[in-house]
Amino acid sequence: MQKRIMFLLTGFFCLLCFNARAEISIISDEETELYLQSIVRPIFQAAGVPYNRNKIFVIENNSLNAFVSDGNYLFIHSETLLKAQSSDELRGVIAHEAGHIQGGHILRQKLQMQEMRYVSLASLVVAGALGAASGRGDVAAAVALGSHSSLINQSLTYRVQEERSADEAAVSLLKKLHHSPKGLLAFMKKIQIQNKLQGINENSYFNTHPLSGERIAFLEQASKQSPYPSSAKGDIALKRVQAKLFAFIKSPAQTVLKYPSSDKSIEARYARAIASFKKMNFAQAQTLTDSLINDEPHNPHFHELKGQILIEQGKVAEAKKEFSQACRMMPESVYFKINEAQALLELTPSPQELKSVIRHLQQSLVTRPTAMGWLLLSKAYNLNQQNAEAQYAAARYSFTTGDYSLAQKQAENAKTASLDPKLTLKIDDLLQLLKNRNSY
């Protein structure tokens, strides 16, 4: 019998339950994650919460929501990013979630609900993020939940007191960082409008959350008392992230409607380039991307997009140059390293290039373990005639994607071939993980 992992989710509003056959898409994108890092990190630090970029996830979902889970994981719905009119709105939402962590609300709920056993959205998303991240053109990596999603189609009761406490904590954190709570107030009003449009009766909604009217009144008072004006800092970055997400998530027709050809702004051209890419109109996509690079030659995200456009046309050598350029501009990016490695391995790498690929992939897997990283590393080891290492990396890939039977065989083959004591220890660790999993 499989042991189920318990995660307690504390939500900003949790307006929508997931369909039993739903697919969850995790958005993995360097530009989006860096923008969120600039918002989340200072708030978490002010709250005394350890910051870990690998615990921040954007989920493709068209409802306004964000929530935290056991282990300080933070989940933000894509619609929350798309509908935010300023960075201050996102700061307010995230400060509210940090307030839940700071107040120990997740642990308290966990202690109160020890008899409830279920696989949570958090556990599935975290596992899926590792297994599905591709490092390739699509901004979102889909994680099919299948029958398991019925286990998360449950609602949790959130205490009125805890929601009030999180609001108060948010105001305090924003004040500490010299930001106004007006952003949180503006977002709350969006929620209130959405409630009315969806026909939610706020009197019954009070059972799971404080009345939004009451919360708005509190935030209006806090906004009047705040000495700090609303800040537009970072909103250029927000507009670009919004354009990118919109273009990847929505249809090309919707993108062109929102960002018409008459709009010559960088974010509009960015969105139209992605829309053209999705329509496989590569000539137009490349023309638009080249115009972006001409305006900002040192923007690595534009070079990444051009590399994706080129590789989809089979122009691997040209794509590799663009990915390498992005890596030189942002050498710490795991996604850029994976893109570069994948392009290079599709060519005929020299022994020196192969060693460089292996080193970069090893570094990326320390920073952020992904299935694609392990798969590429296995291929690189195989080309470098390192059979044991290739089998071990392949086993890691199989383990990450959930093929435990194959992972077992590959790990055993790696151990038989291994002559390196350090590698043997890693293989033993993986075999122990597999053994522990089979004992659940």
Report the alpha-carbon distance of residue 320 to residue 205 in Å, rounded.
53
- What stretches in the chain show pLDDT beneath 50? 1-22, 105, 107-108, 110-119, 132-138, 140-157, 203-209
> Which pLDDT does position 316 carry in this prediction?
96
The model carries a pTM of 0.82
pLDDT in tens, 253-273: 999 999 999 999 999 999 999
Which structure tokens are listed for 204? 């019954």
CA distances from 244 to 84, 259, 325 (A): 14, 11, 20
Cβ contact 16:168 at 8 Å: no
Whole-number Å distance between alpha carbons of 273 and 306: 9
CA 412 to chain centre: 33
Those residues with Cβ within 8 angstroms of residue 166's Cβ, 6 or more apart along the chain or in another chain: 10, 96, 97, 99, 100, 103, 105
pLDDT on residue 370: 86
The answer to whether the CB of 337 falls within 8 A of the CB of 368 is no
- What is the pLDDT at residue 367? 86
Mean pLDDT of the chain: 82
Q: How far apart, in whole angstroms, are the C-alpha atoms of residue 36 and residue 140?
A: 16
244 neighbors 268 (Cβ within 8 angstroms): no
CB 46 within 8 Å of CB 179: no
Residues 6+ apart with CB under 8 A from 330: 30, 300, 336
pLDDT tens for each residue of 189-238: 888 777 676 665 554 444 444 556 778 889 999 999 999 887 765 689 99
Tens of pLDDT, residues 160-184? 677 788 889 999 999 999 999 999 9
Domain boundaries, the chain: 9-225, 252-438
Cβ neighbours for 221, distance < 8 A, ≥ 6 positions apart: none
Six-digit token pair at 353?
């290039």
Domain at 252-438: CATH architecture? Alpha Horseshoe (1.25)
Integer CA distances (angstroms), 245 to 60, 139, 264, 316, 416, in order: 9, 8, 18, 25, 46
